[in-house]
Amino acid sequence: MTTTEVPTAAPAKGVAPPSRPARRRREGAAWVFLSPWVLGACVLTLLPMAVSLYLSFTDYDLFNPPSWVGLRNYTQMFTEDPRYWRSVVATLTYVVIAVPLQLALALAVALALKSMRRGRAFYRSAFYAPSLLGASMSIALVWRAVFNDGGTVDNLFGTGGWVNKPGWALFAVALLTVWQFGAPMVIFLAGLLQIPGELYEAAAVDGASRWRQFAHITIPMLSPVLFFNLVLQTIQAFQVFTPAFAVSAGKGGPADSTLFYTLYLYDRGFVASHMGYASAMAWVLLIVIGAVTAVLFRTSRSWVFYASEGDR
Amino acid sequence: MTTATPAVRKAVPWRRVALHVGCLAALLVMLYPLAWLLATSLKPADEVIASLRLLPSRLEWSNYSTALDGVNDVSVGRLLTNSLLIAGGAVIGNVLSCSLAAYAFARLRFRFRGPLFAFMIATIMLPHHAVLIPQYIIFNQLGMVNTYWPLILPKFLATEAFFVFLIVQFMRGLPRELEEAARIDGCGPFRSFFLVILPLTRPALITTAIFTFIWTWNDFFTQLIYLFSPEKFTLTLALRAFVDASSQSSFGPMFAMSVIALLPIVLFFLAFQRFLVEGMASSGVKG
């Protein structure tokens, strides 16, 4: 595994098991390589986490020193702030709509591409393109215009402008996310191509239908990748910001229907200068994402199947 | 690469045709927003709204000249330079710092390697917002708000754990014997990193560079928080200012500017799509 314990036949100089000072020098070298990361982890991750926890118990406007208010930010958030709950509902609705749709589409397209002999590389790249472009402000603005009153979707289907309807605006944002199914699709496809073909051959010889092959070979063999995509996309969906900001011009409207959690956090912290309140919101988000990830990991034991358990 | 089509079942030609027809149809729907963007950027003002026609009746190139004038007296040239400066700095920072950390995690032995690696992986899942406000306060104290430092400096400290992970995955695949040979030739860890491992890691480094560029270019939230002088704006921020400042009649110029803002990503994608797609694929599979 490591360079320090390599039994070599050649007694060339420097190959003998390293002496204690040599080992210490090696250890020292490792820390030199790590130093930027260690500095970043301490100053830009651990310290800020501690500070934001502290600030969440204070009133702080960036100019006056923070004043301790105990749990008031949290109680206010949970009991006196209807906008907070609307942002929670909007975010959860969005996660529950966008993530499954996106993953289902990604898997369907990956399955279609897998059985292709020609053109697979072309489609793979073409379907992946929106994943890069879609995160931009440019495309978010296109979305707003296309789903607006008199926009293409309205003209085609007479929907009357989803971005102006409280019940539909969120769905327009979710569609933008679904449109970016290329990134999980690429990961699904790579996973599918690693499943040994012999498994399917054996199953076909035994007379297993396509559906049974899918349920009993593809899904179990793909489950680690499915799990990876599920965790990653869920975490990202909780933090969505740019499209909601663009579609609602930063307001989270109509009727707070696209007031996503991060948008409200930005509004409280950087528009209204309630840094303490925003910090409390950030910590709740951190705990919720941690809890969701933990639950996903726990349930994964029952459905994620690792072919080479010993290697891991 | 094994093709997993069951050999027993003969491939029926019409099935394959149907597959291609389906994929092409899906592709058309998916490319529509891009075509719409391009067409609208060339439409005269009266055709933008309430028109089902995708193509403009005549090409309104003045949209682009209006867009090139920029927003708030800041030209597009300046905005482009600002965006490039930030993205360029981020690329250099990420490639340098992430490859250093990745080498230590992938190839060297040190105390607490296991727990530190686990911590590094955990920070991939850490929501940015949990550290955002104190980071803002720190940069504010340092007098760096409304400069590019808050956008670039963190990249030199390997804060983007996703890329550390990506490079670790790649470096683990390189044969051990390389460093042993280098060591016999008298190379210490530094020389074997720079002379042996780093050149072989080039594909992962290129992937890191391209992703960093595109993600930094697309980033809106961080720029929105840290930059407020119009002459320091990036293209992304200027686009948003454009929307706020103009009425629906200047739709054409706005989308001309959107096209300009999207162009570098499109070019990067066309030039490097192999690295991008494979970089994305390899980040998930071996996890």
Q: Which ipTM did the prediction report?
A: 0.88
pLDDT digits (tens, 9 = 90+) for A165-190: 887 889 999 999 999 999 999 999 99
Q: Do B220 and A137 touch (CB under 8 A)?
A: yes
- List beta partners, residue A58: A68
Is B220:A266 a contact under the CB 8 Å cutoff? no
Residue numbers of A between 64 and 103 with CB closer than 8 Å to B = none
* Residue B110 near chain A (CB below 8 Å): yes
pLDDT reading at B144 higher than 90: yes
* Alpha carbon of A132: minimum distance to chain B alpha carbons (Å): 7
* Alpha carbon of A228: minimum distance to chain B alpha carbons (Å): 7
Distance, in Å, from the CA atom of B10 to the CA atom of B222, rounded to the nearest integer, reads 54
Q: Do A193 and B49 touch (CB under 8 A)?
A: no
The band of A248, judged by pLDDT with boundaries at 50, 70 and 90, is confident
pLDDT reading at B162 higher than 60: yes
Q: Do A192 and B4 touch (CB under 8 A)?
A: yes
Is B3:A117 a contact under the CB 8 Å cutoff? yes
pLDDT reading at A6 higher than 50: no
CA distances to A142, A251, A286, B64, B239 from B255, rounded to whole Å, are 8, 21, 36, 9, 9
Report residue A89 as tokens: 């509902």
Torsion angle in degrees (nearest 10) through CA of B164, B169, B175, B177: 40
Q: What is the pTM of this model?
A: 0.89
- Name the residue among B129, B215, B283 with its Cβ closest to that of A285: B129
* Residue B178 near chain A (CB below 8 Å): no
Q: Do B180 and A3 touch (CB under 8 A)?
A: yes
A59 backbone dihedrals φ, ψ, rounded to 5°: -95, 130
Q: Do B240 and A139 touch (CB under 8 A)?
A: no
The band of B240, judged by pLDDT with boundaries at 50, 70 and 90, is confident
Tell me which residue of A142, A192, A150, A209 sits closest to A172, measured CA to CA: A142
Q: Determine the longest span between alpha carbons in chain A, in angstroms.
A: 82
B44 backbone dihedrals φ, ψ, rounded to 5°: -70, 155
Tell me which residue of A109, A85, A287, A71 sits closest to A185, measured CA to CA: A109
The band of B53, judged by pLDDT with boundaries at 50, 70 and 90, is confident
Distance, in Å, from the CA atom of B176 to the CA atom of B36, rounded to the nearest integer, reads 52
